[in-house]
Structure 1
């Protein structure tokens, strides 16, 4: 099966930096954001390839995931074998590209990968968020297998006064992830989804669980996206197709802790993620603290 990463946006929040460097290639320590997401996507044992939905205005993305034997040989000739191996690993990842020529929404971006996916279930990972331990999708796969291959989405609790900012699921808790005894809206709980409500009023919210940006979807989703009309913002929304999917198939939600992941969607979040990973890396922490000097963390 394949994992889809929509990445056709132009990164306007990061302009002018993204005038020449796609935001997905901005580094978190020594790797670009998109590589962390690709590696996370490849962690489930059924995933054998990643499809990046790209814009033709960002050819740098494809260059990054291509082999560069001349550069590798140059590095090795100068005694930089470890760096050459890192460059090789990036170029050897099983990544392919399709294009979203018009910005018509997340649902349309996913649909652009239909030929690569074929008639198989698929993951969708949004590229502004990655999980360093790479276990979120693995755990979603476990839930799917426990429920006959059903679609699974990752959800997380949000404070009651913030539900109107998100897409919120309706449903009920029906169990927990293997090895967990979680219930309700606690991490590890598993819900059977009965509906989704986009940005509900506080008093109308069916739960406090919002969709995090990790999806494991049945192949029927692609069929529904082919006929999905425009929704919020005049775009083709993935959530709208998922609501239609519920009419014919079961869907489950795994409650996760969103703090397990790293947000890179804004300049401030990206900078904070760099700091967070530097502080958690034994090889980087002391140098990072020394570089900060008297700046308080």
Structure 2
């Protein structure tokens, strides 16, 4: 029942970040000096995963290059005696066993996961979406794995989502077992807020029993004319209990422009080499905003006698 394999789908087109993603995978967008996908892989490794399969598309070659050896760069760093950078580069290519399977056309998250069925080989596995960075001392995926080991059932990560974003998530109906754990009663893909069963949404972390693959195979095209993982989860829930786990940690949806910028700022503020300068910049911007606000108030408070 150990969970040692993970599927990371990265075949999406990244249209929310066009034109940058016309030639660059959204998962390779940097958070300062490390791409988003690096943080996702680090979470998988910290959760005990030692075998990762990326589901890629034809425009995702740079992800493969990133996790591969780079002899030319390594030789250059050796000649420059840049030992610290050399170690960083070498560590990236030896992080974990990584395999690549290409999704021939974008047919949805469910279809992407299904392409890994032969690699999964009837074992439980984790799914980590490449858009989400989740920061916590105990990785989110590890939290799900621990729940899986306790109950032996598929577990999906959930959190409260704002009403205006409900239509972007799979929204659950669940029965609370405690403050952080629900038994899943239903899950609806991207409902209108007024039709949603709750404000608790599934985010990009899952641990599945292998039976989910049979359910994906039986799933018809759904929302967006794609094979929706949410629909397969509903089928699986008819056969075996599924748990929804309210994880601990701070999540950044880096597929959203505002959340992406927030991630960069927060990570910069945690970087001891950058923290002081970034804090000073933020303070100066705030002072500028306050000065403008006061200036605007003064203009609006002129005596009526001099207003023509």
Normalising by structure 2, report the TM-score. 0.84
SS at match of 1:127: coil
Q: Is 1:137 aligned to 2:141, yes or no?
A: yes
CA shift, 1:206, in A, is: 3.2
Identify the match of residue 31 of structure 2 among 12, 28, 33: 28
Q: Does 1:166 align with 2:156?
A: no
**Paired position in structure 1 for 2:101:** 98
**Which stretch shifts more, 84-93 or 263-272?**
263-272
Question: Structure 1: how far apart are the matches of 2:188 and 2:258?
Answer: 29
Question: Pairwise CA RMSD of aligned residues?
Answer: 2.1
Equivalent position of 1:55 in the other structure: 57
SS of the equivalent of 1:93 reads coil
Counterpart residue number, 1:288:
278
For residues 126-151 of structure 1, give each alpha carbon's deviation from its aligned partner in whole angstroms, at most 9, with x where no partner exists.
1111113361111111111111x210
Report the 3-state secondary structure (helix = DSSP H, G, I; strand = E; otherwise coil) of the residue aligned with 2:285: coil
Q: Residues of 2 paired with 1:162 and 1:7: CA distance?
A: 22
Aligned residue for 2:284, secondary structure, equals coil
Match in the other structure for 2:200: 209
Q: For the Cα contact (< 8 Å) 1:171–1:194, is it kept in 2?
A: yes
The residue that corresponds to 1:77 in the other structure is 79
Greater helix proportion: 2
Contact 1:106 1:237 (C-alpha < 8 Å) held by counterparts: yes
Structure 1: gaps (5+ residues): 176-182, 184-188
Q: Which moved more, 1:17-26 or 1:244-253?
A: 17-26
| SS of residue matched to 2:177 | strand
Task: Kindly state the Cα deviation for residue 164 of structure 1 after the two structures are TM-superposed.
Answer: 4.9
Distance 1:295 1:203 in 2: 39
User: Secondary structure at 1:247's aligned position in 2?
Assistant: helix
Task: State the partner residue of 2:228.
Answer: 237
Structure 1 window deviating more from structure 2 (22-31 vs 100-109): it is: 22-31
Cα distance, 1:19 vs. partner?
A: 2.5
3-state secondary structure, aligned to 1:261: strand
Give the alignment partner of residue 226 of structure 1, picking from 213, 217, 220.
Answer: 217
Residues 1:293 and 1:17: Cα distance change in structure 2 (over 3 Å): farther
Give secondary structure in 2 for the equivalent of 1:207. coil
The whole-number CA distance in structure 1 between the counterparts of 2:253 and 2:109 is 18
**Closer/same/farther in 2, CA of residues 70 and 162 from structure 1, 3 Å limit:** closer
Q: Give the Cα–Cα distance (whole angstroms) in 1 for the partners of residues 227 and 258 of structure 2.
A: 29
The question of whether the paired residues in 1 share the 8 Å contact of 2:25 and 2:59 is answered with: no
Q: Paired residue for 1:179?
A: none
Count residues in correspondence. 282
Q: CA deviation at 1:173?
A: 1.2
Instruction: Give the unaligned 5+ runs of structure 2.
Output: 288-308
Match of 1:108 in 2: 111
The equivalent of 1:87 in structure 2 is: 89
Shift of 1:211: 0.5
